[in-house]
């Protein structure tokens, strides 16, 4: 029995150490995920622009975080304006969260039920902060969420897979697949989007490998 005591003691210590190591690793992983999601959100929730020129009608993508007590996690309102003078093109509500058991993140997009109430939302923080789950609905079908992953210390990429993102186009009266790519750094946002028919034939959008570059601009007061 005396010979067994050191062995049992060693085993107990080893077990405790392993448990502690596992717990520490889990805590570090959670901390890294928390740091990364805040890093990504800070890069995403900014204002971006393509200036007007002879080849482009101009594009401004403005984003502002929503701090509603009714919504958990990281949410932001985005508005896309096009042309000169600028006209409203698109409004969305977005939710960024971590994918379970993964180091990647998913951006889920929603449609506001009364979008006219939120036009130029960056000037209406109080209204945005009152948003509830009853104020919006799904924008896309399942499979069309954008997946974000960290490439290096100053680069993230986002992707919507056409194999999973399939929609019915009312305008074309047919089912289409959507592919979307994004590259995000501290200095810019690059995006592309394209559509395919059910046979995989290209319908519209940017060519594969082409990315539209938007520069970071100061928030509009």
For the chain, give every domain's residue range.
41-217
DSSP state of 128: H
pLDDT at 134: 98
pLDDT value for 193: 94
Tens-digit pLDDT string for the chain (221 aa): 555 445 444 444 444 454 555 555 555 556 677 789 999 999 999 999 987 665 666 899 999 999 999 999 999 999 999 988 889 999 999 999 999 999 999 999 999 999 999 999 999 999 999 999 999 999 988 899 999 999 999 999 999 999 999 988 888 889 999 999 999 999 999 999 999 998 999 998 988 888 999 999 988 65
Q: What are phi and psi of 108, to 5 degrees?
A: -105, 130
How far is it, in rounded angstroms, from Cα 23 to Cα 112?
41
pLDDT at 7: 47
Model pTM score = 0.81
* Predicted pLDDT at 52: 64
Domain boundaries 41-217, CATH class: mainly beta
Tokens representing residue 175 in the block: 């089912």
Give the up-direction half-sphere exposure of residue 158: CA atoms within 13 A in the CB hemisphere: 23
Q: What pLDDT does residue 57 have?
A: 66
Bridge partners of 53, per DSSP, are 56
3-state secondary structure of 45: coil
CB contact at 8 A, 61 and 214? yes
CB 66, CB 78: distance < 8 Å? no
pLDDT at 32: 72
Tell me if residue 165 falls in helix, strand or coil: coil
Q: Which residues contact 87 (CB under 8 A, 6 or more apart)?
A: 81
Q: What is the length of the chain?
A: 221
d(CA 64, CA 128): 9
Q: Identify the CA nearest to 73 among candidates 103, 106, 122.
A: 106
CA distance 14 to 212: 55
pLDDT at 74: 98
DSSP symbol at 56: B
In 51-173, the DSSP E strands lie at: 59-66, 74-82, 87-98, 105-112, 136-138, 146-152, 155-160, 166-169
């Amino acid at each position: 029995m005396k010979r067994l005591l050191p062995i049992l003691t060693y085993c107990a210590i080893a077990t405790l150490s392993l448990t502690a190591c596992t717990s520490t690793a889990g805590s570090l992983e959670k901390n890294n995920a928390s740091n990364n999601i805040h890093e990504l959100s800070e890069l995403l929730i900014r204002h971006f622009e393509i200036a007007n020129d002879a080849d482009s009608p101009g594009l401004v993508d403005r984003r502002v975080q929503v701090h509603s007590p009714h919504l958990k996690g990281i949410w932001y309102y985005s508005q896309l304006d096009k042309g000169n003078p600028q006209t409203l093109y698109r409004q969305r509500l977005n939710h960024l969260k971590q994918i379970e058991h993964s180091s990647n993140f998913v951006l889920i997009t929603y449609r506001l039920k009364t979008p006219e109430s939120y036009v130029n939302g960056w000037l209406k923080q109080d209204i945005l902060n009152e948003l509830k789950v009853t104020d919006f609905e799904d924008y896309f079908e399942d499979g069309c969420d954008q997946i974000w992953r960290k490439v290096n210390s100053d680069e993230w990429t986002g992707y919507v897979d056409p194999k999973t993102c399939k929609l019915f186009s009312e305008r074309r009266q047919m089912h289409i697949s959507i592919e979307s790519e994004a590259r995000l750094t501290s200095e810019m946002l690059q995006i592309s989007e394209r559509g395919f028919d059910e046979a995989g034939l290209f319908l519209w959008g940017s060519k594969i490998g082409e990315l539209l570059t938007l520069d970071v601009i100061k928030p509009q007061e």
